[in-house]
Structure formats: C-alpha cells, structure tokens
Amino acid sequence: MNEILFQKNSNVRTPPASMTKIMTVYAAFDRLKNTELSIENECIVSAKAYKMGGSRTFLEIDEKVSIDELLKGIIIQSGNDASVALAECLAGTENDFAKLMNFYANRLGMTNTNFLNSSGWPEENHYSTVHDLAILSNAIIREFPDLYLYFSDKEFTYNEIRQPNRNRLLNSVQGADGLKTGFTRKSGWGIAATAKRNNRRITTVINGSNSSRLRLNAATSLINWAFSQTNQKLLVNEDQIVVKVDVWLGDKPRVNLVSSKKIISTLSFDQIQLIKSSLEYTRPVKAPIQKGNIYGKLIINIPGRSNIEVDLIAQEDVGSINPISKFFAAMKYLIFGTSLDE
C-alpha cells in the first residue's frame, strides 16, 4: 500500500530535467519484459544522439551499442546521448518515443505530466510534478524488480571513460538502491530517491533545490525521518468485529458488523496519539440480513490525511420472524427499546 507521509507543492508543474530518464527506462523495461527485445540487441548511434550536449556516455556516431550499455549509460551516467539513441532504437524517432512515454504516463495516472523528449533536455512544454515522478518511481520498482537492479550500479565505464553513478545516496544512505538525479538552470537540483530497510521501502522526490548538497541533505533527511519516526500500524483487521447492532424484526436480536478489509497505515508518533474513528449505520438494522452485505461504515480520521473509510459487513445471516411475531416484536421495541428475544 502506497501512502504519502509528507508533501509540499507536490502537484506544481516543474521541469523534470534528467528525472525524465526514469520514464525512458520504464518504457525500455516494459519492452524487455513483454516482447522479444533483449539487452543484447544493438542500436546504431545517430548524428542527433552523438551531438547531444550535457551529461554524456560519450557514444560515437554510427557505432553499435547494446541495449544493456545504453541502459547503464542512461541510469548511471545520465547520458543524454544514450537516451536519444535508445529512444530512436525503440521507436524510430525521439518524437514518436515521447508519445510512447506519455502513453505510459497516462496509464500510470500521471495526470500533470507531458514529455517531449527522452532525456529531460529543456523544452517549454516538457513538465511533470514530484507527485507524478513518485508514481513513476514506485511503478518501475514494483513492475520490473529484476531489471530495476540497474539503478543500484555505482559506476559504468564506456569507451574507456569511467563515470560514477550521479545518485550519491547509494554510498551514504542505508538501503538506498535508486533512482535518478536531475538538474537544469530552470528546474534547479532534483532527485527521485528510494531506500529499502527490513522489507519497508521509502521513496522521496525533490525538485528545485539550490545546490546538489542541499538536494542530497534534504533527500537523506526525509528518508531517515520516515524510517525512524514513522511506523506501520494495523488499524483494523479483515473480519474484525467492529460493532454489535440491534436487528429490527429478525429471528436473532443482534448481528455483528465486521470490517470488510485489513487496513495498515504508516503513521508518525503524533498521528498515532491523535487518531480518531467514528461509525455510520442505521440503528436498528432491518431484517432480513445477508452475510457479507454492507450495513455500515467505519471512518478513521488521521491528522493531515484524508479520512479512511471501511465498509462494515454482516458476519452472519439473520432471517425475518413470522408475521404474527412481528407485531409483538415491534411493540416491544417501540416501548422498551429491545428486540424480541433479548
């Protein structure tokens, strides 16, 4: 279950810079997983790819480069040349590849994103949000667990030029295993970072920092805070009895309403202290009652979060009483407020 523990300006559109490359890699991973494409397949470097500025893998024009090498060049070295080469290899042109990127973005629910290129090279209508980039980051981890291992590689040498992974958290934060940094003058310094400890994963996305050091410190602080100051708490278990309610004109006086699902939430210490809940249901519940049908709602209020609503369902069937008994049961309930057999 993905939960947002902290957010600020999360839906403001901003240039994603080289964090764009997460989607470039996502598209390639999808092709590798679901088609005959192999990491051993080779791509030919075009003049456009060769001439790309900024961070580079230092590809040579017209040379053949494997998908494996291009992925390492994109993920580890943030190569703009490798990004264009891979895009052209998979879609013919970078423009057509950008259409594919937007198709995936739409499918993932990235509603504030528009990609125009594969590298994050500055263009006026090329944008995303930290919220959308978090959706993408979690999706690539979830959908391609084996291929995702590329993101934890700490260096890559191509054409005898060795470059370290630009994600410095890999060396400084416990459990860090991805994802991608980014920088342009307009966007500032950004990073999509993630770490896993004891089967629990935290992902953070930052953009607009004033320096690479501030970016590193902010991401480190957020990840460490999330692991140390929040805990996963079972709020309600599936089939847990939440309330016992009176039955109106039934062959049983009461029925248990139970939780329809299990709810686990990641909470800070303060949120745990301030959590509240309330119930909504008709009193009494009118027979006949069918096991598994919804007869109420549990509402869990956590400060700083949207309310969590859980359907309450009947634990068992309750039949109606015969017509003669209905009159006496109704009178007793109206007079004494109790059901027939109590």
Residue type, 196: K
How confident is the model over 90-102, as a mean pLDDT?
98
Residue 304 pLDDT class (50, 70, 90 cuts): confident
Q: For residues 202 and 223, is the Cβ–Cβ distance under 8 A? A: yes
158: pLDDT strictly greater than 80:
yes
Catalytic choice (55, 78, 83, 339): 78
Let me know if residue 312 belongs to a domain: yes
Read off the pTM: 0.82
Res 341: pLDDT? 44
242 and 216 inside one domain:
no
Answer with the one of 184, 205, 230 that is the final residue of a domain. 230
Tokens of 229: 């100051």
In residues, how long is the chain? 342
**Among all chains, which residue has been given the structure tokens 């004494």?**
336
* Residue 327 reports pLDDT greater than 90: no
CATH number of the domain at 73, please: 3.40.710.10
| 87 plus 189 within the same structural domain | yes
Q: Is 296 helix (H, G, I), strand (E, B) or coil?
A: strand
User: Residue 304 is part of which domain span?
Assistant: 237-336
Query: Does 78 participate in catalysis according to the annotation?
Result: yes
Task: Note whether residue 216 is domain-resident.
Answer: yes
Q: Which of 21, 55, 128, 265 is catalytic?
A: 21
Separation between Cα atoms, residue 289 and residue 286, nearest integer Å: 7
- Verify whether residue 64 is a known catalytic residue: no
Q: What is the largest CA-CA distance in the chain?
A: 94
Confidence of residue 306 (pLDDT cuts 50, 70, 90): confident
Indicate which CATH number applies to the domain containing 255.
2.60.410.10
Does residue 140 sit within a domain? yes
Give catalytic status of residue 21 as yes or no: yes
Confidence of residue 330 (pLDDT cuts 50, 70, 90): low
Domain shared by 226 and 241, yes or no: no
Are both 211 and 273 inside the same structural domain? no
Cis peptide before 288 (omega within 30 of 0): yes
Average pLDDT score over the chain: 93
Identify the pLDDT of residue 75.
Answer: 98
pLDDT of residue 146: 96
pLDDT surpassing 70 at residue 331: no
